[in-house]
Structure 1
Amino acid sequence: MTHLVFIQKGQAITDSLTVAQEFGKEHKNVLRDIEIQLLKLVEAGEQGWGVLNFERTHYKNEQNGQWYPKFDMTEDAFAIVAMSYTTPEAMKMKVKFLAEFKRMRQQLQAAAVDTSQLSPILQLLIQQEQQQQAIIQRQDATDKRVAVIQETILQRDDDWRDKLNGMLNGAARRSGGLFRDLRSRSYEMLESRARCDLNRRLRNLRDRLQETGATKTKIAEANRLDVIEADPKLKEIYTTIIKELSIGTLS
């Protein structure tokens, strides 16, 4: 078995690759599960907790030399993601992960240096170093928090958008109408079917982006598709609407 938990920056963590391998899941599905939990944390106003416990990073595929995204996770983050894995095999694996987290915590505690017997000067130097590291870590956490909020708010699934635009373009050609008119109609159908106000949600989205320090350009570029994509329910309904509009022009 591979190492389930490892120490990084003085903390016991695991990552999405390890979770995918040990739970027998595709890595892309584990990434999706994590993104869903991050979105729920944002909706609950707990995005700061998400920043501190989930770290977006990358790994290099040794076969093709390409870099791909992954997440590093604390024990608490792992517990949230693994909560939905409920098969007997998954339960056994969760127990193994949690036991390994406990072992790593004990290892870190045992490795802690007792500075009480050092000279006052050395103790002062160590204390100053620890304070400096704490400042750096707080700044890193703040930067990550802003980045995660903006990335979560403005999710982009380019394949999904390309497919929808392709279907709308085809429907517009077949019906002899204009693409922008069909797009407007699709938004109206979504608002009626999902009982939502896209313009109001777009204003809220831009307000949240402004609060996180996004640039004026990024705020101005936010659109109703960003609103739809950020809400899994709206995304599903809107996809169905576009398919209906496309099929309707085939007859």
Structure 2
Amino acid sequence: MNDLVIMKDKQAVTSSLQVADKFGKNHRDVLRTIDDLKDVRKFAQMFLETNLPDSYGRNRRGYYMNRDGFTLIAMGFTGSKALQFKLQYIDAFNEMEQQVKFQVPATLPEALRLAADQAEKISVLQPKADYTDKMLANPGLETTSVIAKNYGYSTREFNKLLHGLGIQYKQGKTWLLYAKYQNQGYTHVEPFPYKDSKGLEQVRNTMKWTQKGQRFLYEFLESKGIMPKVEQTA
């Protein structure tokens, strides 16, 4: 299986010759299929044109391709045998990538670089994990003011932000979700007792966010490039 996928420039790849041979295709047809993809976005990240030795040792024009490139051209290969070959390639890519993942650095500089890379990944991912874990760990309701504070907004600013994004509208003194977000279990409206300017006891409704609603807000705002303070870069 290992001969299906090789390592090149620290990336698991296969070749157009290998694909043509395994799937019983004419190499010219495989080349034509790849050439037709040159206008596809990220083509250069998936395919590398090169010279490959054929069965007689003669150099022939060909391509190396990574997992994404292989997946792209293999979409058009049909039939039960083709399916089995695709599965073999998937296994080969997985096996090779696992070997790379657990490869031990050969020199001290490589080991230090690997340690630094891992530390950087952890430092980037940890704030998000901390925020979402904390959010999901709280099964109760959360007020808009607390969520706003997590994002560095005042309550008024945050409410205006959600209104501008088409999430909520104001009815009287209460913020409510627009119809498309209602009945999704995102919020809960409950009575809130307070004293008016004359010191009289009053009650008005207030909207609080459920755990599901907090995740919805996080993912929606993230899609707009709006992150909690703990995830904001300096």
TM-score by length of 2: 0.44
Larger relative contact order (CA 8 Å, sep ≥ 6): 1
The structure in which a higher percent of residues are helix is 1
The structure in which a higher percent of residues are strand is 2
